[in-house]
Amino acid sequence: MRAAFARKPLREFFVRKRQNGWFCDPDSIFDSGLPKTTRRVTTALGEVTVDAQRYNTEIPRSSYVYEWRSKLCDAEGQRLAAAWGTAYVPVRKNCSAYNLLSTADEVSDAHIMLVRALIDQHPDRFADGIASGLAFLTHWERHPDAAKGAGAEVLVNGLAALKQLVSKITLLAIDLQPPEFRDWDLPNEPPEVTAAKQESREQIAALIDTLRPEAILGPTGERFMILQRHDTEDAYHARNVSMTLRHLVLGILLASPRGFEPLLPP
C-alpha cells in the first residue's frame, strides 16, 4: 500500500476524481417533492435547459430562496456543461444581512457559508443586506470531451433564462473555488498545491472578466467574487447569529396582539 501511495502525484491527494467526467453532480441539487420552473434555449452547441426551484421556507419570509441549474446537452441528450447555484430575492424592499443569514440557516450549512462569505468579503456592499435579487454561482463545469465554449454557453444562456424566471435578480456572486479541489485553505499544505489552487482560481476569474455575466442581469447588474471557505466554524457562527435573531423575532411576535401580517408573493 505504501508503494502505491508513493507513486501517486502529490496533487491527487488534494483533488476530487471525476465521475463520468464530472467533479460534482448537477442532477442531485433539487428536491423531488417540490415543483420546478423550466426554460429552454437552443444554441449552436445544443439545448440549454434552465431549472429553478423555490424552497418552502418559514413564514414570515424576509426573502425567497431558489436553487437554479443550467445545463447544456447535445442532440443525443449528453450533458456537455453545467452551471448551478442558489438565489435570494427579498420579499419586500430590503432583506437585512441578519435576515439573509437566518433564511440561509433554514436551508443548509452550504447556504450559510455562502451568505457569510459574501457579507464578510464585501462588507461595504452587503453589511445592510440586499435590496434586489441575488444569484450565487457555486459550480461551473465543462465535460472534458465537450467543445471549447460550452462552459460560456451554459453560463450566459443560463443566467439570461434565470433572469426571465426571477426578474428581480440584479446581483451575481461567484464562488471562485475550483471544483476539482476539496478545500481551499487547508493548513500546512505543500506550496505546489497552494500554487495550483491559486492558478486555477485566477484562470476562472480571468474567464469571468472576459464574459462579464453580470451584464445579462440588466443595466444595474453587479458582480462580486467570493471564496467560500469550507470551514464548519463558519456555519456554526452563522447559525448562532441566525438563531439569536429568530428568538428575538419570536419574542416580538408573541408580545404583539396583531402578530405579523401575511407577506405577498413576488
> Which of 92, 176, 152, 94 is closest to 128 using CA atoms?
94
pLDDT of residue 10: 56
Quick one: DSSP state of residue 26?
Answer: G
The strand pairing partners of 46, in sequence order, are 43
Query: Taking Cα atoms as reference points, which of 108, 129, 140 lies closest to residue 208?
Result: 140
Identify the three-state secondary structure at position 151.
helix
User: Along the 266 residues of the chain, how does pLDDT read in single tens digits?
Assistant: 455 445 555 555 566 677 777 777 777 777 777 888 999 999 999 999 999 999 888 777 889 999 999 999 999 989 999 999 999 999 988 899 999 999 999 888 889 999 999 999 999 999 999 999 999 999 999 998 999 999 999 999 999 999 998 999 999 999 988 777 766 566 677 787 778 788 888 988 999 999 999 999 999 999 999 987 655 444 444 444 434 444 433 333 333 333 322 222 23
Instruction: Please tell me the predicted confidence (pLDDT) of residue 236.
Output: 43
pLDDT of 264? 26
Residue 58 pLDDT: 77
Q: How far is residue 237's CA from residue 183's CA, in Å, rounded to a whole number?
A: 19
Grid cell 482560481 is found at: 201
Residue 252 has a pLDDT of 31
Measured CA to CA, the distance from residue 103 to residue 123 in angstroms comes to: 19
Angle (deg, nearest 10), helices 109-121 and 232-255 = 90
User: How many whole angstroms separate alpha carbon 85 and alpha carbon 103?
Assistant: 16
| Grid cell listed for 189 | 499544505
pLDDT of residue 253: 33
